[in-house]
Structure 1
Amino acid sequence: MAIHTPKTREDLARILSPMRLAAEVFERAVAVGAAESRTFSQGAPKSAPNMMRWFRTVEFIHEELMLLQLDWKRSNPQNLPYFSQSDLNLGLITSSGDEFTGVPWGTPSTKNPKGSAFARRVDENGQGALFGQPTSDGGEIDVRYLWILLYNERDGMVHLELSRPKSMAGKQIDSWLDRIVFPPFDLALGAFSFEEDEGDDEGFGFTIARR
């Protein structure tokens, strides 16, 4: 498993650019999601803050991806918000993660069990489902590389990563092929906590973990 830990905005941009993605997509979505989760009083259902966070995170990922104008498309198989990029055969799903999200030395998973729509997009080899992904215009996109944005808030930070699943155990992901671990999003500053002041020799980290 390859684990990337970019330390500066430039490092993260170099990783995301070939995927036709930008850090700002996730930064904006995480900020709005965190803010919206705090709009409820104690009288609201217990699940309301987390659900609203997911709703807004997905919504703003959608808006920011469309603004990039890099041919990302949106579909909703079995009501699962699903983004795909046909030129690169990429798929993208958003989910809350557990306490190991954003921890390079841990093994994260989705916070909650996932249903069949989610599971169908992770096959036994960790590849995105190899069937055609239908689009709104009646076409199909062949998705071969599925990535999942995981996020988890703790200690005043939202920890997140963009990772490619390898397999699922039951309704939870239990292993990964690649992980891009973002710097934590500082809720007080409203931005990723990049180590911008580090020396030039402090590039992004790259860790090979045991299977």
Structure 2
Amino acid sequence: MTHAHALPDPGDLDGWLTWAAQQLEPLDLTVDLLHRVGENGQRKRDGTSPLAPAQTPGQDQWSEAVISFREQTGWDKDETGGLSKTWHPSRGFYVVVRAGDDSTGLFGTCPTPETGLRTVLRDLIDEVPRTVPLFEVTGAGRHIPSSTEPPALWLFMFSFRDGVVYSELSRPAERVEDKITKYHQRIPLPPLPYTYADTSVIITPDDDLDAGPDIDVQPI
């Protein structure tokens, strides 16, 4: 399930953007913020040295995405139990960041983290109520889980395919083995075109690209 409201037309990017923003607003998140998380992670991966160990690009990508999410939200981090969680200030839900499979960010699919579900994440999904949790509306108009419900688990997944970063924020409901088989809610984000740019050297408009540095060369 994605959401009870009418889904946007994937061909209408403006409509999709509006829909996604509406879904994220009660969670104090924005499309731009989540797009930056996926983009920053991919940029970190692309900047990995070709001499690095094989697992380094994926590890660096995931780590940078988690850092980016936490820096932008300012929410509390939680590293207990072998799982990196980031808690909303209400403590009503938390977000876990993962690289997703090739169905991430597409409507009508059931994506799963690229590496499958590890033990801690499997256990958390098994604890998720099988029905859609009730929500209460705060004075500020925010929707928070009812006090009788456990904190909600949200997965932010991202996937780079064919020059595009696909991503989504979704609430898993059920799993079979290491695959998610059902969601309470999915919020696929509009695809983000991406081109890697080496930012190790930053050129400003005032730089004179035709003139080299003034170097005084002395004989040895």
Does TM, normalized by the shorter one, top 0.5? yes
Higher relative contact order (CA 8 A, sep 6+): 1
| Alignment partners' CA distance in 2, 1:125 and 1:144 | 9
Residue in 1 aligned with 2:164? Answer: 157
Aligned residue for 2:124, secondary structure, equals coil
Aligned match for 2:151, one of 124, 144, 150 = 144
- Cα offset, 1:143, TM superposition: 4.3
> For residues 52 and 91 of structure 2, what CA distance do their matches in structure 1 show?
42
Q: Which residue of 1 aligns with 2:59?
A: 51
Q: Is the 8 A contact 1:99 1:152 kept in 2?
A: yes
Equivalent AA in structure 2 for residue 176 of structure 1: Y
Shift of 1:25: 2.2
- Do the aligned partners of 2:87 and 2:93 also contact (CA within 8 Å) in 1? yes
CA apart distance, 1:154: 0.5
- For 1:1-211, list aligned pairs within 5 A: 1-3=1-3, 4-5=7-8, 7-8=13-14, 9-66=17-74, 72-85=75-88, 87=90, 89-123=92-126, 125=128, 143-188=150-195
Structure 1 consecutive aligned stretches of length 4 or more whose deviation exceeds 3 Å: 3-11, 124-127
Q: Secondary structure at the match of 1:27?
A: helix
Q: Deviation per CA, 1:77-128: give whole Å up to 9, x if none.
A: 223110122537112111111111111122211111332222232125457x
Give unpaired runs (5+ residues) of structure 2: 131-148, 198-220
Contact conserved, 1:126 with 1:177, CA < 8 A, in 2?
A: no
Q: CA, structure 1 residues 11+176, in 2 after alignment: closer, same or farther (shift >3 Å)?
A: closer
The alignment partner of 2:46 has SS state of coil
Between the aligned partners of 1:125 and 1:62, the Cα distance in structure 2 is: 24
1:151-205 deviation line (CA, Å, top 9, x unaligned): 1110001111111101121223222121101011111399xxxxxxxxxxxxxxx
RMSD, aligned CA: 2.5
Distance in 2, matches of 1:81 and 1:182, equals 22
> How many residue pairs align between the two structures?
172
Contact 1:84 1:91 in 2 (8 A): yes
Q: Distance in 1 between matches of 2:175 and 2:80?
A: 19
State the SS of the aligned residue for 1:37: helix
Asked if the contact 2:43–2:196 (Cα under 8 Å) also holds between the matched residues in 1, the reply is: no
Give the C-alpha shift of residue 144 in structure 1.
Answer: 2.8
2-side partners of 1:17 and 1:106: how far apart? 23
- Structure 1 residues 189, 112: CA separation in 2 closer, same or farther (over 3 Å shift)? closer
Consecutive unaligned residues in structure 1, runs of 5 or more: 67-71, 128-141, 191-211
- TM (norm. structure 2) is 0.69
Tell me which amino acid in the other structure corresponds to 2:85: Y
| Greater shift in the superposed pair: 81-90 or 31-40 | 81-90
